[in-house]
Structure 1
């Protein structure tokens, strides 16, 4: 297994980031690639999980080892595949996901894209009591830096990128239309818009 890849971050798309390591571009599917936006053209390390099936070979990337570990545990849940596990990690803070599982909070879990009551119950049955090694300090991400943009054109571009990322996570236009006015009141970078949008969507 490839534990991590360290290289120059050269591209960010809605579902993946690309690291250049010795002239090879590694496409890493991430819960929220935009958390790395500030690191474009910088040398960074992304922890990886290699997913192999008969018809697919894909690398998934994570900011921390603990995020990767939670992804692996979610894959062990019946009915949860890589796409579903990524959506859960992208939509909720890992420590909140762990707390919901340990507290049997189905209401919180069903707010994630693709997670219904049956799947939420299965997550709890399969993982409750098996997440003791996850403590909050393992999930401390660097705080997102909200900057004021001089021009509205860039602001709209950042917002549109964020909305596109949310569509890739499974959110539909009806949900995004509902929260868009609140997002337009903000002046954030793409990752800031995504974080704010997910907070609004989970409250709804």
Structure 2
């Protein structure tokens, strides 16, 4: 229904961003909203999926049409809802997800919150062989500048974002020491945390 929104990033939360376009503020849920931190108060274009259910109407946003298509394909898998599909895409590396599906790597898929063995098998069963043409995510929009403070605020924001994605407190505690090794932006902390989760 809504192909994309071009507008200004006005607000960033742990689960969504607000884009103002033509004096309307659109609440757009994203896998990693802090990807947009650098673009606050700047114009961007984000591809959207308009999700309509009896008890929920929401907009979900993606940097590329490719990621949106993968999100939509994941939604068609029994047991995967919007929150679960976003968590799977939050790493910003859809090619790795596609590779895991094609290689039937259940162990990789079960590292995402809400994805057990049964759901991982269902993802593989439903999507293997149907994801041809997925490549690397586009560069440019999501480049991140280094932060100059001690990173404490950014780390806290990243932890809240991980909780919003469905990761348990105990899982976050296990990887927190690895996150405190260097000072990063919120977006970089989230990406590093997700990599640490997947590599456990």
TM-score by length of 2: 0.95
Larger RCO of the pair (alpha carbons < 8 Å, separation 6+): 2
* 2:187 paired residue number: 191
Aligned equivalents of 2:64, 2:147: Cα separation in 1: 28
Aligned equivalents of 2:19, 2:125: Cα separation in 1: 37
Cα deviation for residue 146 of structure 1 reads: 5.2
Q: How does 1:8-27 map to 2 (within 5 A)?
A: 8-27=8-27
Q: Deviation per CA, 1:130-170, whole angstroms, max 9, x where unpaired?
A: 0012123xx13346435252x43xx1001100010001111
Q: Deviation per CA, 1:50-98, whole angstroms, max 9, x where unpaired?
A: 0111121111111111000000000111111111111111146200000
Higher relative helix content: 1
Matched pairs, number? 199
Aligned equivalents of 1:112, 1:74: Cα separation in 2: 13
Q: Quickly say closer, same or farther: Cα 1:82–1:28, change in 2 above 3 A.
A: same
Aligned equivalents of 1:100, 1:7: Cα separation in 2: 34
Aligned equivalents of 2:120, 2:139: Cα separation in 1: 25
Q: How does 1:41-120 map to 2 (within 5 A)?
A: 41-91=41-91, 93-120=93-120
Aligned equivalents of 1:181, 1:65: Cα separation in 2: 35
The gaps in structure 1 that reach 5 residues or longer are: none
The gaps in structure 2 that reach 5 residues or longer are: none
Aligned equivalents of 2:131, 2:11: Cα separation in 1: 33
SS of equivalent residue, structure 1 residue 88: helix
Contact 1:17 1:29 in 2 (8 A): yes
Contact 2:64 2:138 in 1 (8 A): no
What is the RMSD of the two structures over their aligned residues, measured on CA atoms?
1.3
